Every structure is written in structure tokens, then in C-alpha cells.
Amino acid sequence: MTPMREMYCKPGVEMKSPGKGVTIEYGLFPSYKINSVAERKSQLNANQHLLIKLKVPIINKPRMKALVGFRHFREAYDFGNIDIEDQWLFQNLENKTLKNSRLSAYLTRSFSHKHYVGFKGELAYTGDYKGLIDFSKRYRHAFLVGVFGMKPHANKEWGIGLVARFGYRGNAVFPFLIYNQTFSKKWGIEFTVPVKMMVRYNISQRSLFLAGLEFGSRQYSVDFIEKPADGPTGQYNIRRAEVQLNIAFDQHIASWFWFEVKTGYVRYLDSQFEGIKSQEEVDFNIKSADGIFFKFGIFVNPPKSFYK
């Protein structure tokens, strides 16, 4: 008789890229030109990223799984050349640490061997605050995510979902689509449209390549307390967006541990800089030159035997 645990499907397909229970990742976006309201361009030596992420299961049953997670991301700008007369904004950003800390809860529940639903609730705190996290309202975003998934067989799944966002940027709802399929022992695709569309090549069960497009966006509430030139001071919101064409290599090291190397080309969309509580009303775009990037990370992926 077939065990009951096989009567319920689990999100994901065979040979898919490994899940990441604990992640430590460093990213380097080397030197490029950047400018704001003036035609003059400043030189950015580097934009450095650090990501630490943790997911812990609290319910691990054949039909239902629940996890809680914490994610901390930070980035800093190192300018080599700043136009003193016009680029007061970049002088404020020089060596400023921008942070994004998130508290998350995940729940998936299967209804049969073909259907499941998933939910995520998340609180994000983004800005230049001190310490690991600041729960002030000015930094807070809330997200609710729901998805309905169908898995016809072990090598194919698709789903539809909605993301609702609430916070200082206003409220919004966005749809998304999931489509994952393994075509053979070597090839597959992993799509979450419109944010991620990747082609997968499995060298073996211990190593694989992922290549494709990813869209990302970030926003921060920041304070410019000091007055480096003659620019206004006060509270501002920064919004950034980018599209990455990248390739990643994942390799199993030992036990639960993997490492990942990623590189690619990044296309920056215009960033917006909005004055909220400032001495002057300031609202303009920041333009960045496109370029290459590198990321290096290590992560933990529990084996299938860990899950019932």
C-alpha cells in the first residue's frame, strides 16, 4: 500500500535548485559612473552587499509545513570622486550603511497529490538606522503573499499568486506566475514571472548551473543629518530598481553545505530620491551606468530525508 505521505504533493520539481535554509552572501558591484541632477558624473569605486538569511521549520508534516525566517541585507557606497559643488547627495551616501531586515512566516498546505496553497507574511524594516533592526513605523513595510499551485507530476508545476504591499511607499497589489519544469536529467526551467526567469542545467545531483534574468528593487528611508555642502538636510526616501542577466554555479560541499558563485551584467533603472521632511522639496532621479557584478555565498540545504 502506498504510504499516506505520498498522497500529498510538495512544492518544487525533481532536480530543482537547492533550497536555502541558512545563507551568507557577499556581493560586489565594481566601479561605475553615477550622476544626479547635474550633468557632472561622480565615480563610484564600489557598491558592496552583504546578505544573511535564516529559515527554521516549526511544523514539518506530510500535508503541512510552516517556517519562520529572518533576513538581513546591507549595502554601502564607496565613492572615489565626488563633485563637491553639485553632488551633495553622494557626499551624504559616502560610506553610509543602508539596511533591510525582514521577519517572515511561511505556510504550505497540500490538498491532494496535485494541489497545494502557500502563504507568506512579512514585515520589512528598511533604512539607515543603527543596529540590526529598528521597528519604527517610518522604516516599515508589510507584505502578504498567497499562491495556488498545481503539480501534475513530479517534473512539472505551475501556480498563480498575489503579493500585497503596505508601507510608507503606499499600498499596492501585484500578481505573479510560477512555472517550474524538469525536461530531462540535465535541463529544466524555474520561472517566477515577472521577477525571475532561469534556465537550469544539472551537471549532477551535487552541482548545477542557473542562467537567466532577475528583477530586483530596494527602498530605504534615510536621514541626512550633516550638511556636507549647501544641499538640504532632513528625511528622504530612496528607491532603486535593476535587472540582472546572470549565471550562477551551485556546488555541494559536504553534508548540508553548498556554495554559490554568481556573476553577470546589471542594468540599472533610474533611482528616485524623494524629500519627505527636508528643508527644501527635493525629488529627482539618480542615473547609474550599467556594469558587471560578482556574488559569492555559502548556504545550508537540508536533505530530502529531513522532511517527512
pLDDT in tens, 205-261: 999 999 999 999 999 999 876 665 566 678 888 888 999 999 999 999 998 999 999
Residue 284 has, within 13 A of its CA and on its CB side, a CA count of 11
Note the pLDDT tens digit of each residue in 168-187. 777 999 999 999 999 999 99
Residue of higher predicted confidence among 190 and 289? 190
CATH of 4-306, one of 2.10.109.10, 1.10.3430.10, 2.40.160.40, 3.90.1200.10: 2.40.160.40
Q: Whole-structure pTM over 0.75, yes or no?
A: yes
Long-range contacts of 190-197 (CB under 8 A, 24+ apart): 190/16, 190/17
Q: Which residue has the higher pLDDT, 138 or 41?
A: 138
